[in-house]
Each structure stands twice: as structure tokens, then as C-alpha cells.
Chains A and B, each alone.
Chain A
């Protein structure tokens, strides 16, 4: 049990939508459920919290079945050793920050004075002991987020759940809060599952990413492996890569009937090819005499992207290219314009689609 405090297979049927996500989390580990809106992340979190019953599968925490429809095993939310930080925090508006944090310990049978002491200690840890007597509406967004975190942690939960913990904050507060949240999550001895649609939050906060799309896990792994080897368009977009699936035969991967990309890696069978938009070069005429993949494309869209210009191109494969504003001006990139697209084999990264 030491390697998995939480062992779950979350199956929830909601009409046409079916969530089926296996999830194992070790003590002290932080796992991020990352996915687009409507992927079922929040449903997964609610199922772990007992706010939504499972249709099938199980939630086992610390070797105790919290929910297992097959055997009828069920522990209601209030008796689960969990702490939840809700997206909009849901701090009780009629209680002070201190009493919000003391609420959990009080319900766990701690006497009022001791509960308040615990709460004050937690508020101190998140740097808000001076705001203890304030009502939630007198707190800033970042402060409310920290009170919500303190409230969830004050009951020393085995499983900490966070639903889009930084989504409600403005960009500047978000940066500070993210760093601080990372510190608290690292210090948490129990398992942590956080749900987010923001890859930066996930990469900054989690030890492991579980990527959910359409109710299923499409990829799983630590940050570097997920960002280097995306397996779906969604993940590729998140990490800003062009991604194609095709059949590999040695150094060639056939990604469309008309196009086989030459890659540096050698492999056979179903494969992914990924490369950065900055690795894509655009030319007015077909480039000669270099070991490049080249094909003719049509400009579909042009947008500013940081200091560069991001060009979306149609053709045998859709591709995003980042070029300098100077190059964009020289090529007269307007939608409908035909250009030659070139990608060096050494700039590509190919890996098996299976396993």
C-alpha cells in the first residue's frame, strides 16, 4: 500500500458521456488531471469526494473502499478523509476566515478552543494570521484561495483534492499563488489530486500528469515525458507542438497519402512525429539540395505569437509555423498564398504510437 495511498477506477455514466479513469496516487505524490473543458475532470474529482456516486469501478483510500458499486461499499463524503479546494473556494460567507478553517476540525470532534488554535496555525502557514477575523468578502482572490487551502488541509486529509485551484485568480496573483501552492502541496504527506485545464499549473504543481479527454485517459507521465512526446492533438496544442500520427518504416513516417516525413529516429509501425512550429521554415519556391522534408502548403491564417508570427498552413498535413515578422513580410503571407514548407529531419521527434 506504500506506493498507492489512493487506488481508484472512476467510472461514471452520465447519459451519453462515460467517464472511465484509472488513478493511483502514492503518499506525498501530486497528480494533475489535465484536460479540456467537458473532459470529465470535475466529475472525476466529485466522484473521489463522494459528491457523485460511481457507476462502476472503485475508490480505495488507505485500503478502505470508499465507493465500490459492485459490493455496495459506500462511505459518505462527510466520513471520508478528504480535503477539497473548490474552484470558487466556497468559503462560508457568514464565518470569519478563522472559523472557516476551524469548521473542519470542529466537525471532527475537536473542542472549539483547540480547533481555533489549529485554524490560526494553518492561517499562519499560509501567511494570513493577520486576516483571521475577516469575512470572506473582505479577502482578495489570492487570500481567499489560501484560506480555502488552509481549510482543506486543517483536517489533515489523506486525500487532498483541488478543482482548478488557480483559475479564479488574475495573472499576477496566479504566479505568486502557484509558487506558494507548490510549497504546500510538496509538504502535504497525503495524496493530492488536482484538476486543471492549464498545462502550466499542471507542470508547475504536479509530479505526474494524467491527461483526460472525452472521459478517458489519453496519456500519463511526468511533465518532461508528456511535453516531449504528446500523444493527442490536445496535448500537442497544450505544449505547442505540431503532431502527426502515421506508419513508420525505418526513417520514414507516412503521415498522409501524399506525404512521408523523413525523421532522425529509426522505428517501425504506428508512430507519432512531433516538431516545434519554430522548426518549420517557409520558402517562396521549392528549396533545393538539403536533407529536408518539403511540401507545398496554403496559408490559412496569420497571427502574432510573442515576438514572432504564427502561420497556420493547409496542405497534405495542417501545420503551424513560427516565422520572424521580417520573414513574414518578405513572403507576403496572406490567406490563400501558396508557399513551400520545409522541416529538417533532425528537428523532428518520432516515437511509437503504441505502449
Chain B
């Protein structure tokens, strides 16, 4: 065991674990129950869970068909489309927020039309939060589901066709159940990413308590006024993240 590898490995681990330990050490354990039930914390938590869930639902609705097209349909430019889908993955979320503003903002490409036709405004609303989170989180879902679709034996779909199943019935009764584990893993990853979303949300939806202030935004704000509150909120996010990791590990990561 060469020390040249062991020492940096140990340092690397320490670097990753120490901040989390710091969070636990500095947490105000005695006042935790009151802190957690403060109206501000609860409101932010509820909003976060709601918007992340809605964003995941939106991603499922649009992302699963997109993944299916990428995995099952041969068309020119498919590689380009796949690359485009992954852009939000590497794009700084703040840039995503700016881009969303340019499209859905009051004077944006679609925003003006939405406002004048339907009276719908998206920026700085809860719907805006959902959009921002979905924009950032959807690639996680699409990539996971597309991978699952590619790994699934498409001949099951042929077998379904020989039994009289239409394309749609085959999709709902055969394809989706076959990729269910991948779909669930993708949805959980998507939800976790949406829950932690900060940059695009604050840029596109702002920071209004009860309306657009999600947990990460609340943490950031609390940091300037009330450190203990920030620690408590961070702790909640940490618990949720670890919970997701454990759930993923037990159910998919070992078998996949």
C-alpha cells in the first residue's frame, strides 16, 4: 500500500466528510424541535417538497416520452438531441435561470404571449419554481430512463405485438413495467436534484417566503441573519439526501 496514494485518499475522504461532521457538531440539538417547527422552516420545507414533487411529475410526463424517442426511434440528429438534453446537466443553474427568464419572462419569447393570451405569468411564482427545478432536474430522469430502455430487451415489445398489443398498450403494459426500476431511480434522482435546486430558482422565481422560497433559498437567507436556523435547515436537507442515497442503494444500485 503506497503512502503516496493512501495519504491523499485519506485527505480526500476527510475533505468530503469533515463539513458534514461540522454541520452535525454545530447543530443546536437542544433547541432542534422548536427550530424545526418554526413557521418559516416548515413553510420552506413544505414548499420545497411540493415544488420538487410537481417538478418530478412534470419531468416524468415529458421526460419519459423523450427518453423513449431517444432510445427507440431512429431519426437524423438523434445524437444532437441527446446532447441538447444533457446541456442543463452541465450548465450553471444561474445561467439556466437567466435563460428561463428570457423565454418565460414578461418580455420573453413566450412569456409575453402567455401573459397577453392567458394572463399567465411565470417568473417569481410557485409555478416558476417548479419550472426552474424541472429544467435543471429533467436530464437526470431522461438519462436514467433512456439507459433503462436501452438495456431492456426490445424483443419483449415484439412479443407483445404478436399477441395483438398496439404500440401504446405495449408501452404501458410491457415497456414501462420492464424499465420500472430504472424509472424509479431516475425519478428519485430527479426529485433530489429538484429539492436542492438553488441557482435557477432564485434567478427565475426570486426569493419570496411562502411562494418561491424553497429550503436551499431559506438556508442561504438564514445564513446572513440566523446561523443556527441555517444549520437546522441544512440538517434537514442532509437527512433527506442521505435517506435518498440509502433508498437508491438498497433498491437499485446493487442490482443495476
Residues of A within 8 A of B (CB): 49-51, 76-80, 82-84, 86, 90, 92-95, 103-104, 107-108, 151-152, 155
Contacts and interface: CB of A to CB of B under 8 A. Distances in A.
Contacts of B180: 94
Given A50-B161, A94-B180, A108-B164, 16 more contacts: A49-B158, A77-B162, A78-B161, A78-B164, A78-B166, A90-B153, A90-B159, A92-B177, A93-B178, A103-B163, A103-B165, A107-B163, A107-B164, A107-B165, A107-B169, A151-B163
11 contacts: A49-B162, A50-B161, A51-B162, A77-B158, A82-B162, A83-B162, A90-B153, A90-B156, A103-B160, A103-B165, A107-B163
B12 to A, nearest CB: 41
B174 interface: yes
Q: Number of contact residues on B: which range applies?
A: 10 to 19
Interface of B: 153, 155-156, 158-166, 169, 173-174, 177-178, 180
Contacts of A107: 160, 163-166, 169
Contacts of A104: 163-164
A155 B162 CA distance: 10
B175 to A, nearest CB: 11
Main secondary structure of the interface of B (DSSP, over half): helix
B161 A51 contact: yes
Closest 3 CB pairs of A and B: A107-B164, A104-B163, A77-B161
Contact of B156 (A80, A82, A92, A155): A92
A93 B160 CA distance: 12
A51 B161 CA distance: 9
Contacts of B161: 50-51, 76-78
B65 to A, nearest CB: 20
Q: Which of B155, B163, B166 gathers most chain A CB within 10 Å?
A: B163
Nearest to A94: B177
Contact of A78 (B155, B165, B173, B174): B165
B159 A92 contact: yes
Best-surrounded residue of B161, B162, B165, B174 (most CB of chain A within 10 A):
B162
Given A90-B155, A90-B156, A92-B156, A155 B163 contact: yes
Contacts of A92: 156, 159-160, 174, 177-178
